[in-house]
Amino acid sequence: MISWWHRDVIAAGKLPLMLCFLSFVLTFASTRTITRLIRDGRGPFRNVSVGGTHVHHSVPGIILLMIGAFTAVGGPGTLGWRSFSAVAVGIGTSLVLDEFAMILHLQDVYWSGEGQLSVEAVSLVAACLGLALVGFSPARVEGLDSAEFSLRISATGVLVMDACLALVCILKGKYRTGLFGLFLPPAGAIGAVRLARPNSIWARHRYRGKRLERATRRAAAFDRRWKPLQAGWLDFIGGRPSLPNPTSSQASQTPQAASAPGGGAAQRTSSRPPQAAGAPGGAAQRTSGRPPQAAGASGGAAPRTSGRPPQAAGASGSGAAPDETGTGRAAGS
């Protein structure tokens, strides 16, 4: 164990990577535990607010990411500073990816179904870090004989082949299969040779007609069989969603009215009463809380109303205008 530690970790320069991996996993586990306790109202933990604004934990994650990146770029190249940068990057990356779905949707979907995308992102990054940590490196390892060097070369070739199979799985829309294929080569090979999912990049460029229909049926059957198991696994890791998806709640609202008639321009609606039908002159009447113009009023210009009762129907354009008291004179008098 001690020889492995010095030869494969310290001598190979993987100590910062190991610290980054451990800090990433431990931070995610601690964060999910704390957020579950906050949601259930248990424990001493509470949400952090500054001036009435809720501060998400991705904010300190971004700060730690910047500190780790600047330290790695501009700090001394000693093992201690590299280890400090690795821990800062691991913690910051975990805090940011734990709210990856919120950043993607630009709204708080942490405890909704769409928030489980964060758990998938964290799982993918953790698997890649673990694979890079335990991977067989044929270089930068001291004290290798010819047999062990050949074994490491062969293992590296297998990993490269697994990476190619995983890439094919990703292009076919099988992200979890590609992830498992990095650790289990048969899983990656099976996912690479089987039909792609109908909405994947591979299917959009290569599938037509009956083959696309067959891929759609197979994807639907796969989802019916394995979707509950996948949802249960995500609920176990990240917690069961307790809020509906924002997209589903927005879809239930009444959609906005279609474009208004008249030249294709959208009509701006307000609380003002509608314009009276049949207003002559071709110009739109501007309403501002005034009563509508009486139908049949003659003349090219619309009369200006100011709280007075409308002109009596049948009054000719040559008749006298109503007096200031609003009673109106008889036509022809």
How confident is the model over 60-82, as pLDDT tens digits? 999 999 999 999 998 888 889 99
Residue 92 CB neighbours (<10 A): 24
Residue 37 CB neighbours (<10 A): 14
Residue 182 lies in a domain: no
Residue 254 lies in a domain: no
103 and 201 within one domain: no
218 and 126 within one domain: no
CA dihedral sign, ordered 187, 191, 193, 194: positive
pLDDT at 239: 73
Asked if the model's pLDDT at residue 246 lies above 80, the reply is no
Q: Which of 134, 149, 173 is the last residue of a domain?
A: 134
Residue 316 lies in a domain: no
pLDDT at 67: 96
Nearest to 86 by CA among 18, 12, 5: 18
CA distance 220 to 216: 6
Number of structural domains found in the chain? 2
pLDDT at 264: 43
Asked if the model's pLDDT at residue 249 lies above 80, the reply is no
17 and 118 within one domain: yes
Asked if the model's pLDDT at residue 144 lies above 60, the reply is yes
Cα end-to-end span (Å), the chain:
118
213 and 130 within one domain: no
* Average of per-residue pLDDT across 313-322: 42
Residue 223 lies in a domain: yes
202 and 130 within one domain: no
CA distance 123 to 237: 10
Asked if 18 and 12 count as a contact pair (C-beta separation under 8 A), the reply is: no
Residue 114 lies in a domain: yes
pLDDT at 300: 44
Residue 104 lies in a domain: yes
Q: Which of 103, 134, 165 is the last residue of a domain?
A: 134
Asked if 105 and 246 count as a contact pair (C-beta separation under 8 A), the reply is: yes
Packing angle between helix 175-183 and helix 185-193, nearest 10 degrees? 150
Q: Which residue in the block uniquely carries the two structure tokens 């709280």? A: 307
Residue 177 lies in a domain: no
Highest mean pLDDT among 14-18, 68-72, 152-156: 68-72
**What range defines the domain where residue 213 resides?**
197-247
Residue 151 lies in a domain: no
204 and 123 within one domain: no
Residue 325's Cβ-count burial label (10 Å; 0-12, 13-18, 19+) is exposed
129 and 209 within one domain: no
231 and 127 within one domain: no
Q: Which of 231, 247, 263 is the last residue of a domain?
A: 247
Asked if the model's pLDDT at residue 308 lies above 70, the reply is no
Higher pLDDT among residues 330 and 35, named by residue: 35
pLDDT at 216: 93
